[in-house]
Structure 1
Amino acid sequence: MDVKQRTIAALDPGRDKCGFAVLRQDGRVLMQRVIETQRLEAEVQQAQADFSFEVLVEGNGTTSKAARSRIREVLPDLRIEVVDEYRTTDMAKKAYWQANPPHGWRRLLPVTMQVPPVPVDDFVAVILGHRYLEEHHHE
């Protein structure tokens, strides 16, 4: 990996599951997944070991404060930046359908009328990461 290419992590915290992603500074997604909230610390620590991200971008949803304090316990030196989650779920559904176009009769229905068959929290995390990178592209 290019040493100059820094990485960030992004988290969409939730009560039962979280969206989690690691992105390069150029916006390329290195990892994205939905994780169980009870495994939050272990997943973030493992990703930190694998990707050495400099900052964790976190959505400002209802469980964000609890998630932040849990992460600070295991990674006290990690910089955490809170980002507005406004409309990210709708954007994530759209991104899901772009990555997984409907097949068969489903392709006849507008995707805006369909619900993705899997959680899209990981797409939300990617969107939060991109939102942060766009706001901080000068750094």
Structure 2
Amino acid sequence: MTVIAVDPGRAKCGVAAVSRQRVLARTICDTHDLVRTVEQMLASTAAERVLVGGGTNGRKLAKVLRACEGMPEVVLVDEQFSSLDARKRYFRENPPRGIRRLIPGGMLAPPEPVDDWAAVVLAERWLKECEDSG
């Protein structure tokens, strides 16, 4: 199963296409470009669902996505601690180098936004829940 996950925000959103096996695509877009970004990912991945984090602006954006023609089922998901988990995931995929390796992980700040990684975290959590319950 492939899903597209959205970590919603007021100004920008993280968007990721994730299958059970791997991350297919991820990006950060302006909130006003969300529909176009999701539609592009749908065209390239044929995802079966769109997951939207239920935090900041989530309900509003889910409603906008549901109103789009041809959109698969849009599901609101819990995004508790997704930003913290996204930071951890970022550093797992991009380990610190040089002197930054000596800084404790909890004190490191990613050098770029991690909204896309938060979307990955939302998708992986949801897919794991589906796997565990089914």
TM-score, normalised to structure 1's length?
Answer: 0.88
| Other structure's SS at 1:136 match | helix
Mapped to 2, the partners of 1:31 and 1:85 lie a distance apart of 19
Does 2:62 correspond to 1:68?
A: yes
Q: Is the 8 A contact 2:53 2:76 kept in 1?
A: yes
Correspondences of 1:1-139 after superposition (within 5 Å): 6-24=1-19, 26-75=20-69, 77-137=71-131
> What is the rounded CA distance, in whole Å, between the counterparts of 1:124 and 1:11 in structure 2?
8
Q: CA RMSD in A?
A: 1.5
Offset of residue 133 of structure 1 = 0.6
- CA deviation after TM superposition for structure 1 residue 76, in Å: 5.7
Contact 1:11 1:59 in 2 (8 A): yes
| Structure 1 residue 74: Cα displacement | 2.1
- Matches of 1:75 and 1:22 in 2, distance apart? 19
Residue identity matched to 1:10 = A
Checking the alignment, whether the CA contact within 8 Å between 1:27 and 1:133 is kept in structure 2 is no
Judging changes above 3 Å, is the alpha-carbon distance between structure 1 residues 75 and 111 closer, same or farther for their aligned structure 2 residues?
A: farther
Q: TM-score, normalised by structure 2?
A: 0.91
- Which string of whole-angstrom CA distances, capped at 9 and with x for unpartnered residues, describes residues 29-84 of structure 1? 11111111111011111111111111111111120011112212324652011111
- The count of residues paired between Structure 1 and Structure 2 equals 133
> How far apart are the structure 2 equivalents of 1:22 and 1:75?
19
Supply the distance in 1 between the matched residues of 2:115 and 2:106 (Cα, whole angstroms): 17
Q: Distance in 2 between matches of 1:50 and 1:75?
A: 17
Q: CA–CA distance in 1 between the matches of 2:116 and 2:68?
A: 22
